[in-house]
Amino acid sequence: MHNIFTLAATFGGLPTHADIAPSSVAIAIFSVLSFVNLTLYRNNNSARHKFYVSRLLLIHALFRLSTFIVRLVSATKNGDLGLELTAASLVSAGVTILYNIDLILAQRVFAAMHPSLTHPRALFTRLMYALYAIVISILIVTIILTSIAPTLSPSGVQSIVRFRKFAGIFYTVIAALPLFIIAVAYSISSDDTYPTRYADWIEQYNGLYRPVNKDQGPETDALAGDVAPVRVIPPLEQGQRGVSVLMIVLASIMLIITTGIRTSSLFMKVHAGDLPWVDNRVTMYVCSFAIEALISMVYTFGRADLKFYIPDRKPANEPSSNTYSSIASGNAPGFLESGVSETEKSSETSSSRQLRAQGLVGQQPERAEKRNFEDQETEQNGNSEAWKKYIVYVPIVGRIYKILR
């Protein structure tokens, strides 16, 4: 028979003085992981190399840091149900972040091999976004139900237990889903006809390498016509694809183990003071500390920020210092074009490439020059008249100044 004790503390039981030492070690390790991921994210972001998975790894480390701080405090305050409920919520939130990280990276491997199935409007992409939303929604509902459990009747508690069983089975499937995505990606023939772009300026994919500050140009590419290229991870021969896939497989296997243990504990009839092996503190520290810390280390020190990086999304109308020059010359970063051969590219003159980049393909040179002259003249007139639109704000600012004075 499940009761509020087993609902509030699935792993580890109630904290005691025996939790002080292992919780302190966990706090130290996740503090280091927090610092490393924060440093990687700031360094990459300063180089316009946005890799938001590093931010998720940082958030996971902070969640686990909070989890063991709360457990350490609870060890000195026995019987504080509020702290126990907080610790249970943090445990659920932390592992959910790892589910999403694994799915995101598996999706990027699939996109690199099958870009025509993973562009922004593709069914696969929309299904993945819906899956992320469902994973987060179930987590939110679980946290809310856990927090209100002490105020419910025994029948209400049983309803929450049933929902937690459903959530446990769901998350076990989610933990195994990246393996299925990788298997499907390798079981069907690769698609090399869809335009893609990747970060070809990355020189190393491990160690202490720091990406250069790269102007990545616009989101769409003139040479790709009306089809925006899919942003993908580096190709097989460049980005250590085999190592990347191995990282996902190892993380998924470890998540399946820890999630399966958590879920199995929900189906066991336990009583307070008589916990089975799946609910003792050793199991909790192995699942919530050792395994999750190892997964975080694999992605952090394995430099997932380089192996799984895709070029940053950038609006097509945002000015860029090398936008037209890189596109016109066919040297857009990591651009793989299947519709134009190398012979056709080389036969194009520099003037025709420039016209293509500016959207003037098919126009006569005189007409193109006239259009460029008109655009420059309009821009100059606009700049000379721009200051006049600010005149209307002068009396408003003066009135506000009088009121404040």
Please, are residues 202 and 303 in contact by the beta-carbon 8 Å criterion?
no
Instruction: Look at residue 215 in the predicted model and tell me its pLDDT.
Output: 58
Long-range contacts of 184-192 (CB under 8 A, 24+ apart): 184/110, 185/109, 185/110, 185/113, 185/114, 186/113, 188/114, 190/113, 190/114, 191/113, 191/114, 191/115, 191/116, 191/117, 192/336, 192/338
Task: Please list the helix, strand and coil fractions of the chain in percent, rounded to the nearest 5, in that order.
Answer: 70, 0, 30
Boundaries of every domain in the chain: 4-189+239-307, 363-405
Q: Which of the 8 DSSP states describes residue 290? A: I
| Distance, CA of 356 to CA of 351 (rounded, Å) | 9
Q: Which of the 8 DSSP states describes residue 194? A: S
Query: What's the pLDDT tens digit per position in 251-305?
Result: 999 999 989 888 887 777 665 556 666 667 788 788 878 999 999 999 999 999 9
230, β-bridge pairs = 196
Alpha helices of 4-51 — where are they, by DSSP H?
A: 4-8, 20-46
Instruction: Look at residue 12 in the predicted model and tell me its pLDDT.
Output: 60
Position 134 pLDDT exceeds 50: yes
Query: What's the pLDDT tens digit per position in 100-133?
Result: 999 999 999 999 999 888 888 889 999 999 999 9
Please, are residues 263 and 172 in contact by the beta-carbon 8 Å criterion?
yes
Query: What's the pLDDT tens digit per position in 327-375?
Result: 333 444 444 444 444 444 444 444 444 444 444 444 444 444 544 555 5
Higher pLDDT, 375 or 71: 71
Position 77 pLDDT exceeds 90: no
Q: What are phi and psi of 230, to 5 degrees?
A: -80, 130
341: left (phi over 0), alpha (psi -120 to 50) or beta: beta
Query: What's the pLDDT tens digit per position in 202-246?
Result: 888 888 888 877 655 554 444 444 567 888 888 776 657 888 999
Query: What's the pLDDT tens digit per position in 380-397?
Result: 554 444 444 444 445 554
CB-based contacts of 350: which residues, under 8 Å, 6+ apart? Answer: 328, 329
Query: What's the pLDDT tens digit per position in 159-178?
Result: 888 898 899 999 999 999 99
Query: What's the pLDDT tens digit per position in 171-204?
Result: 999 999 999 999 999 998 877 678 888 888 888 8
Average pLDDT of span 141-147: 84
Instruction: Look at residue 19 in the predicted model and tell me its pLDDT.
Output: 81
Fold (topology level) of 4-189+239-307 = Rhopdopsin 7-helix transmembrane proteins (1.20.1070)
Average pLDDT of span 20-34: 92
Average pLDDT of span 17-29: 88
Please, are residues 337 and 231 in contact by the beta-carbon 8 Å criterion?
no
Please, are residues 258 and 95 in contact by the beta-carbon 8 Å criterion?
yes
Edge-to-edge, what's the strand order for the sheet holding 230-231?
230-231, 196-197, 335-336
Residue 377: band (very low, low, confident or very high) from pLDDT cuts 50, 70, 90? low
Q: Which of the 8 DSSP states describes residue 312? A: P
Please, are residues 197 and 234 in contact by the beta-carbon 8 Å criterion?
no
Q: Which range, of 42-51, 79-88, 321-330, averages the lowest pLDDT? A: 321-330
Residue 108 C-alpha from the chain's centroid: 10
